């Protein structure tokens, strides 16, 4: 099977839609099982999140690997020219900067209510906390950076260039995080878009998803509590 050069993106818009479809099926099935078997138990919800995030990490790679014989490098999981400590420092500092910026916007320019983390019951708190951190701080950044930056941005960059690709992937990142509650929440919409742009710029600048994954994880961690 043919191997593709790193600058060439073999996957198509159809491939992206297929990946989204399979992820939606995964979300639907886990929620149906949770609803009927566990009655929306809080711990079951956290486990559901972990399962969904794992599927969101594995499905894109398995699909593209099988169809195009791609390596991890070709979807953004490549080693940066920077050493590990520099990558971590960039990720941590940018994640903190994004959090401070978002916090400042929320409290000084928008009337934003604090969102509760949903933990209930002191006896289950530790388990829920651990599952929440695994899902939100570790798995979600990996899954979302692979999909939005590695796959979606890679495709859009080839079609529309760096600027067009970064803006469009940020729009898609924003839309896929919105729900009915957040549709009229202008802070939420603006914040998500800015996050998408920054993570896209990190990936484009460093040619690796690892800095944006770390930045994304740090932001989620600081927002988790």
Structure tokens at 160: 């529309």
**pLDDT, one tens digit for every residue, the chain (225 residues):** 444 444 578 899 999 999 999 888 888 888 888 777 777 677 777 888 888 888 888 888 888 888 888 888 888 887 766 677 888 888 898 988 888 888 777 666 655 544 445 555 545 778 878 888 898 899 999 999 999 999 999 999 999 999 999 999 999 999 888 765 555 567 778 889 999 999 999 999 988 999 999 999 999 999 876
Q: Which pTM was predicted?
A: 0.84
212 touches 143 (CB < 8 A): no
Structure tokens at 50: 């972990």
């Amino acid at each position: 099977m043919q191997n593709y050069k790193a600058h060439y993106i073999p996957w198509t818009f159809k491939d992206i839609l297929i990946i989204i479809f399979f992820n939606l099926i995964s979300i639907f099935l886990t929620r149906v099982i949770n609803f009927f078997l566990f009655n929306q138990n809080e711990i079951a919800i956290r486990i559901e999140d972990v399962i969904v995030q794992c599927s969101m990490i594995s499905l894109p790679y398995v699909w593209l690997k099988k169809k195009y014989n791609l390596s991890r490098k070709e979807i953004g999981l490549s080693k940066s020219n920077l050493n590990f400590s520099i990558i971590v420092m960039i990720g941590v500092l940018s994640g903190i900067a994004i959090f401070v910026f978002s916090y400042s916007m929320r409290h000084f320019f928008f009337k934003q209510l604090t969102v509760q983390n949903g933990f209930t019951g002191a006896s289950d708190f530790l388990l829920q906390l651990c599952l929440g951190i695994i899902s939100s701080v570790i798995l979600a950044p990996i899954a979302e950076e692979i999909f939005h930056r590695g796959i979606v941005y890679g495709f859009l960059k080839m079609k529309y260039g760096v600027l067009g690709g970064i803006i469009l992937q940020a729009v898609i990142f924003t839309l896929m995080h919105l729900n009915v509650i957040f549709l009229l929440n202008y802070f939420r919409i603006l914040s998500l878009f800015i996050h998408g742009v920054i993570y896209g710029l990190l990936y484009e600048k460093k040619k690796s998803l690892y800095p944006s994954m770390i930045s994304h994880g740090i932001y989620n961690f600081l927002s988790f509590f």
